[in-house]
Structure 1
Amino acid sequence: MSETLQTAAPSEAGENPLLRPWQTPFETPPFAEIEPEHFLPAFEQAFADHAAEIAAITHDPSVPDFANTITALERSGKLLAKVSAVFYDLVSAHSNPAILEIDKEVSLRMARHWNPIMMNAVLFGRIALLHENRATLGLTGEQMRLLERTYTNFYRAGAGLDEVAKKRRAEINERLAQLGTSFSHHLLGDEQDWFMELGEDDRDGLPEAFVAAAKAAAEERGMTGKAIVTLSRSSVEPFLKSSSRRDLREKLYRAFTARGDNGNANDNNATIVEILALREEAAKIMGFPTYAAYRLEDSMAKTPEAVRGLLERVWKPARERALADRDALQALIAEEGGNFALAPWDWRYYAEKLRQRRADFDDAAIKPYLVLDHMIEAAFDCATRLFGVTFSERKDIPVWHPDVRVWEVKGPDGKHKALFYGDYFARPSKRSGAWMTSLRDQQKLDVDVAPLIINVCNFAKGADGQPSLLSPDDARTLFHEFGHGLHGMLSNVTYPSLSGTSVFTDFVELPSQLYEHWQEQPQVLRQFAKHYQTGEPLPDDLLQRFLAARKFNQGFATVEFVSSALIDLEFHTQPAAASRDVAAFEKAELEKIGMPAEIALRHRPTQFGHIFSGDHYASGYYSYMWSEVMDADAFGAFEEAGDIFDPAVAKRLHDDIYSSGGSRDPEDAYVAFRGREPEADALLRRRGLLEVTPAA
């Protein structure tokens, strides 16, 4: 996008809703008034304001102290944070061609704005002086943590480099910003362009609820009266589990795993190669041998060796379980008279059949009881019982799409605490996956600021006025993202940089994965799992079969995750030159670990947005498993108390984990909650990959 486009858009504050105070309930974004052309002028103003604030801090003639340097930095950039939050919400959850085109320019401009700030030698000098003398400053625990994080962030951004190295690091940052944006746009493009229409003869084995959702997906694309499968995971996986049409399973599977790898305008192979080369160069500029070594230094894991140790420990029993399951599935095919070898597009289908035989359970049986609205109520009710917060729906809050719902959150004292936005349904304008983000973070630096927290999912919408029904995986995803949401809503810190989910990547998944445990508790399901047609509660025998079946197919689930995490680690520990042919690198690594041919990576490289759409999870996809060690162990505190809502344990969980944000070291926070470090075997037990030896 050319620079000249900026002058064509309205730029005065009176005309631009992003640049004037919001006269809405709780000063929420007035989405109906915001047009794509408002963003570039708003970003221009925000960049200028922030640059002026940084200049004032940098050139303050006073002796550096915590207030005029660190606190001043925390106060800066409010307009930029405000505009960015709205913009990136729309880019991810409700984009259009105009927004995506603006995103290309904004990503580059954002890098060009932040590079000179984070590499400012004078500003870093002030921060470094305070850091060096931190023991004499009389700081609170939160202030000490903020100073340490600020120093670390500037140092790791290259503020201590010489000018030649800074210039190159800045160039790399700019190019990586462009490449990450391109990667995500390519992935969205492939997902938007593909669908598979289901004629009457193509629906064998598909549950009624799935067909209704397929009709709703067609309606969303203007194909009234038809039914389609899209490349949304919430559409793909149920189809692969249920469809008895092997040819269609193969067609869908191949399209799903080929996203970003089709040799078309959306191909991500060259993008990956350039990203990896630039990341390696950036790490070496910073004095690290590999990008993984650079990234993991500032994490709980600390080193690639620690990450590999965890992944390999889990890989062996998971692979053994998966291979045993593979043999059982192949035997089932033979028993049915099939004369073909089990293929990746067969696994879920025959695993469901095997689960029905072994555990007398299949997802289709429980899905009518997992109504989206009831599962939202369940997530809210668990939060109320644990933390005393209450939720009431608001119809007066502006939203970015008619499907978005908003609830006001009040604390135990009845006072306003947050707003929670839920955007649950798949649509072509939304990227795939599920995530939590915010439109405003909690802080109380000058005044108490209540957060605006968002959960985005891609569930299939019910058709013809029918409710949306969730699979067990969908219901778990809802609780997972709501756990992230609670991390943002319950945050109780002073400084915005430490708010909510501003923690290490391998700690951020603890509050979300821990919250998943409540979704599968019998007392929660008995109360909220009710049949969408009859209102009857989940029958106890079906509940027991569901609970018994939870560990079924965990070899498969663990293998598809761990293999992706290992590929991520190898991409960022081996020389970038080794992965110039992405497909060959992927093939070689999978052969090296003995990947079963019948199981695919959960994320093939060309669609691995976690690690290539940006750098947040680069060398960090393992984080889900690192956090799972903690979450499996942490829920044990409630089990040991004999009450999954035990008030004393819940208070520690609130105070030490959910409300403390990034204000303390995560290891200290965990030990404060649990009384000890996590027990690693809890993860293997939870996944059924460790045989528990009975007590003598």
Structure 2
Amino acid sequence: MKDQIILAGKASGVAVLLALASCTSSQTPQTQDTQVTTQQQQAVETNPLLQEWTGPYGGVPAFDKMNLADLKPAMEKAMALNLAEIEKIANNTQPATFENTIEEMERAGKELNRVFTYYGIWSSNVSTPEFRTIQQEMAPKISEFNSKISQNEKLFQRIKVVYDNAQKNPLPADQQRVVELVYKGFEMEGANLSPEQKQRYAAINKELSTLYTKFSNNILADEEKYVVYFTKDQLSGLPESFVKAAAKAAADRGKEGQYAVTNTRSSMDQFLTYSDERALREKVWKNYYSRADNNDENDNKQNIVDILKLRRERVQLMGYDNYAQWRLQDRMAKTPEAAMDLMMAVWPSAIARAKEEVADMQQLANKTSKTKITIEPWDYRYYAEKVRQQKYDLNSDEVKQYLELGNLTQAIFFTAGELFNFNFTPVPEGSVPVFHEDVKVWEVTDKTTGDHIGLWYLDPFARQGKRSGAWATTYRAHTTFDGKKTVLSSNNSNFVKPAPGEPVLVSWDDAETFFHEFGHALHFLASNVKYPTLNSGVRDYTEFQSQLLERWLSTDKVINQFLKHYKTGEPMPKELVAKIEKASTFNQGFATTEFLASALMDMHFHLADPNNLDPDKFEKETLSKLGMPKEIVMRHRSPHFGHVFSGEGYATGYYGYLWADVLTSDASEAFAEAPGGFYDAEVAARLVKYLFAPRNSMDPADAYRQFRGRDAKIDALMRDRGFPVPGQQGKK
């Protein structure tokens, strides 16, 4: 996930301010342009964040020159530069054409895109209190900036002329798609509103931008603030690799001789899975799931209410009943009803399976626990692991010995080579600037021709100032517009950094996530589009490509070549592989329920009346009505649901992971049925041609039909999760 305001300037370079404060009414348009160019060119030449990227590989970001003092002036100058470009387009006296309007918009904003790359790094990877102060100050300015583009009446009328003409006389397919995406984007942002409505719309966006920043920073503050320390006599059950990493985490925080569980998912998840200390598990669990819900200065409950009220008011200005109707119109689901139907088709099977899992765990706890306990949420992972060992003789820590980060990195490179014909070569250290010493960089080339495709940056470890989770981003997207631009892509993880000389061993789930996020990077690298706008994504579709890539982790070629014991170098034994396959549907009740609970709450929040809403009460009551098992909590509880409330990218769109899962399961069966299996050359070629390379130059539903020969069905998803297939209950 990326913040919406970061993405705003990257899709097509059209995020600009309407007017420059330095211009006066006595100046002619030509004089304005000349003065702005002179003033701003000086800023570009002196501020490193504005300067054109130089060096090898088509130019690279100057991450080694990042100075926070340069950020605010760079952003202000970049917005002003972009303004001048857009004003020139809007005031062109020639009849509007694709070339003089849409193409010029695609061309605009180069300086802004560069600055937002650095802004994104500060926001996600190396945040500091000083940056957050600037972020809070700039958020409303960026919102005003975006509103004044989407509400530029002259600009929109020119876009509308091009759009209307294209409806009568269609342009070449890629140009037609760009026009439709640009027009729809302006329309959805209120371009057809009255002047009074536009004014209120812009004011709402400005308020929201501040709230999104507060929401995000409150989560990060609680992740940094709440750390659980424990001592040597409390290590029972914990793997050696985690103990060493926990010792380092404590030492880094001035607690030499102790051990620390940081308030991030990777650290929490491991501790809850293995620690025998039930009281500590409860403390760690409560720390994590109460982030931004502690009734203090970092509490997000009121922010949720304010965000929901403003979102509803804004879409009602355009005639929609609720935010979900507005948001989903350009997604694959199209309507909130369709998204809810999909989720509710899976939900009953998920909670039924979860109840079976709890029963198994309770039975085991009754036999093994020294004191009588009832399974609580902080027990779920712990006893699930015990049941896994009992039912399948599968020990997650044993599996981790074969999942070493360096080998996994080679595994994703191998997969990219087999499917995409890509080759990854480490760049010489120091030849490409990085923003932290942990970051490594690889050059990506075509295996056959040797042609340069781009760079791939990896920032693997958790640290203070880095937001939790895993994500992918792109610093420069592929286009052939105004000359070919090669890709600068990145993956970001939060693996627990090991003690010096120790291996990075990860769980099977974390290994799948590593493949998942690399799928996003491959989507960037495989792009074959002309126009920048076509690199934009449809949220419930772009998760599909990344989720699909997870399937290659469990293929024979990857297992036999790269899943090697970190000490002996021996490949994962076939017996262990068989156990993993046999247990593949184990704990699907938990996994599906915790995800779906978040997705359903996302939708329910945006369909409800936000007036007099108590977020905690609403969350509890809604989940109770849905039959949520008390032993499971939402994957992202509302006060720290950053996907939904720290921006708008996933708002009413968190269901998209399930929509993407339907496509993933269905597409996986296309590979499984092919003669060459998951490495079948013909199916792989279709995969690249229709599902990766086009990005958003084709309608996603059409692209999938081109790949599969039909629409996706839910059947494969239900089979994958071990749930009953609709219409086949009782059949043998």
Q: Offset of 1:450 from its aligned partner?
A: 0.6
* Whole-Å separation in 1 of the counterparts to 2:53 and 2:688: 32
Deviations 1:484-532 (A, max 9, x none): 0000111110111111xx2211101011000000012233112101111
In the other structure, the counterpart of 2:621 is 588
1:557 pairs with 2:588: no
Which residue of 264, 282, 285 corresponds with 2:296? 264
Alignment of 1:358-437 (within 5 A): 358-394=391-427, 395=429, 396-412=431-447, 413-437=449-473
* Whole-Å separation in 1 of the counterparts to 2:159 and 2:647: 27
Structure 1 gaps, min length 5: 1-9
1:651 pairs with 2:685: yes
* Whole-Å separation in 1 of the counterparts to 2:711 and 2:170: 29
Q: Offset of 1:15 from its aligned partner?
A: 3.4
In the other structure, the counterpart of 2:573 is 539
Specify the SS of the correspondent of 1:576: coil
Specify the SS of the correspondent of 2:678: coil
Which residue of 705, 718, 732 corresponds with 1:671? 705
Q: Offset of 1:693 from its aligned partner?
A: 7.7
In the other structure, the counterpart of 1:466 is 502
Q: Offset of 1:25 from its aligned partner?
A: 2.4
* Whole-Å separation in 2 of the counterparts to 1:549 and 1:180: 40
Q: Write the letter of the residue equivalent to 1:590.
A: L
RMSD of Structure 2 on Structure 1 (CA): 1.5
Q: Write the letter of the residue equivalent to 1:496.
A: P
Which residue of 617, 633, 643 corresponds with 2:666? 633
Q: Offset of 1:12 from its aligned partner?
A: 3.7
Deviations 1:453-496 (A, max 9, x none): 11111111121311111100110010000000000111110111
For the 8 Å contact 1:240–1:348, the answer to whether it is kept is yes
In the other structure, the counterpart of 2:12 is none
Which residue of 324, 339, 343 corresponds with 2:372? 339
Which residue of 114, 124, 132 corresponds with 1:82? 114
Alignment of 1:75-474 (within 5 A): 75-337=107-369, 338-394=371-427, 395=429, 396-412=431-447, 413-474=449-510
Structure 2 gaps, min length 5: 1-40
The alignment of Structure 1 onto Structure 2 pairs a total of residues equal to 684
Q: Offset of 1:327 from its aligned partner?
A: 1.3
Q: Write the letter of the residue equivalent to 1:650.
A: A
Which residue of 638, 653, 667 corresponds with 1:620? 653
Q: Write the letter of the residue equivalent to 1:568.
A: D
In the other structure, the counterpart of 1:5 is none
* Whole-Å separation in 2 of the counterparts to 1:335 and 1:651: 53
* Whole-Å separation in 2 of the counterparts to 1:320 and 1:20: 57
For the 8 Å contact 2:441–2:457, the answer to whether it is kept is yes
Deviations 1:364-401 (A, max 9, x none): 01101100010011011001011101000112211111
Deviations 1:129-167 (A, max 9, x none): 221121444511111111100000000001110011100
Deviations 1:268-299 (A, max 9, x none): 11111100000010110111000011111121
Note closer, same or farther for the CA distance 1:693–1:360 as it changes in structure 2 (3 Å cut). farther
For the 8 Å contact 2:66–2:118, the answer to whether it is kept is no
* Whole-Å separation in 2 of the counterparts to 1:67 and 1:405: 40
* Whole-Å separation in 2 of the counterparts to 1:78 and 1:13: 11
* Whole-Å separation in 2 of the counterparts to 1:134 and 1:663: 16
Q: Offset of 1:221 from its aligned partner?
A: 3.4
Alignment of 1:559-574 (within 5 A): 559-574=593-608
**Greater CA deviation, 162-171 or 92-101?**
92-101
Note closer, same or farther for the CA distance 1:690–1:220 as it changes in structure 2 (3 Å cut). farther
Q: Offset of 1:16 from its aligned partner?
A: 1.7
1:548 pairs with 2:582: yes
Note closer, same or farther for the CA distance 1:259–1:678 as it changes in structure 2 (3 Å cut). same
Deviations 1:570-600 (A, max 9, x none): 000111126x211110111011101111100
Identity %: 42
1:494 pairs with 2:530: yes
Q: Write the letter of the residue equivalent to 1:524.
A: V
Deviations 1:601-659 (A, max 9, x none): 10100010000010100000000000000011011111111321111111111011111
Q: Offset of 1:220 from its aligned partner?
A: 4.0
**Greater CA deviation, 22-31 or 621-630?**
22-31
Note closer, same or farther for the CA distance 1:340–1:406 as it changes in structure 2 (3 Å cut). same
Specify the SS of the correspondent of 2:426: strand
Q: Offset of 1:331 from its aligned partner?
A: 1.2
**Greater CA deviation, 554-563 or 406-415?**
406-415
Note closer, same or farther for the CA distance 1:220–1:667 as it changes in structure 2 (3 Å cut). farther
* Whole-Å separation in 2 of the counterparts to 1:560 and 1:124: 43
* Whole-Å separation in 2 of the counterparts to 1:22 and 1:592: 54
* Whole-Å separation in 2 of the counterparts to 1:22 and 1:484: 24
Q: Offset of 1:181 from its aligned partner?
A: 0.7
Deviations 1:304-337 (A, max 9, x none): 1111101111000111111111111111111124
Q: Write the letter of the residue equivalent to 1:149.
A: L
Specify the SS of the correspondent of 2:456: strand
* Whole-Å separation in 2 of the counterparts to 1:646 and 1:238: 36
Note closer, same or farther for the CA distance 1:322–1:537 as it changes in structure 2 (3 Å cut). same
In the other structure, the counterpart of 2:714 is 680
For the 8 Å contact 1:568–1:619, the answer to whether it is kept is yes
* Whole-Å separation in 1 of the counterparts to 2:603 and 2:146: 27
Q: Offset of 1:225 from its aligned partner?
A: 4.4
Specify the SS of the correspondent of 2:267: helix
Q: Write the letter of the residue equivalent to 1:384.
A: G
Which residue of 66, 71, 87 corresponds with 1:34? 66
* Whole-Å separation in 1 of the counterparts to 2:275 and 2:453: 45
Specify the SS of the correspondent of 1:422: strand
Note closer, same or farther for the CA distance 1:82–1:382 as it changes in structure 2 (3 Å cut). same
* Whole-Å separation in 1 of the counterparts to 2:221 and 2:372: 38
* Whole-Å separation in 1 of the counterparts to 2:226 and 2:362: 31
Note closer, same or farther for the CA distance 1:33–1:335 as it changes in structure 2 (3 Å cut). same
* Whole-Å separation in 2 of the counterparts to 1:404 and 1:440: 17
Specify the SS of the correspondent of 1:438: strand
For the 8 Å contact 1:506–1:623, the answer to whether it is kept is yes
Specify the SS of the correspondent of 1:577: coil
Q: Offset of 1:196 from its aligned partner?
A: 1.1
Note closer, same or farther for the CA distance 1:527–1:360 as it changes in structure 2 (3 Å cut). same
1:576 pairs with 2:610: yes
* Whole-Å separation in 2 of the counterparts to 1:416 and 1:144: 29
* Whole-Å separation in 1 of the counterparts to 2:315 and 2:599: 20
In the other structure, the counterpart of 2:518 is 482
**Greater CA deviation, 172-181 or 123-132?**
123-132
For the 8 Å contact 2:50–2:114, the answer to whether it is kept is no
Q: Write the letter of the residue equivalent to 1:469.
A: L
* Whole-Å separation in 1 of the counterparts to 2:471 and 2:493: 7
Deviations 1:392-446 (A, max 9, x none): 0112211111001111001242111011001111111100111111111111111
In the other structure, the counterpart of 1:4 is none
Note closer, same or farther for the CA distance 1:222–1:414 as it changes in structure 2 (3 Å cut). farther
Q: Write the letter of the residue equivalent to 1:456.
A: N
* Whole-Å separation in 2 of the counterparts to 1:50 and 1:39: 16
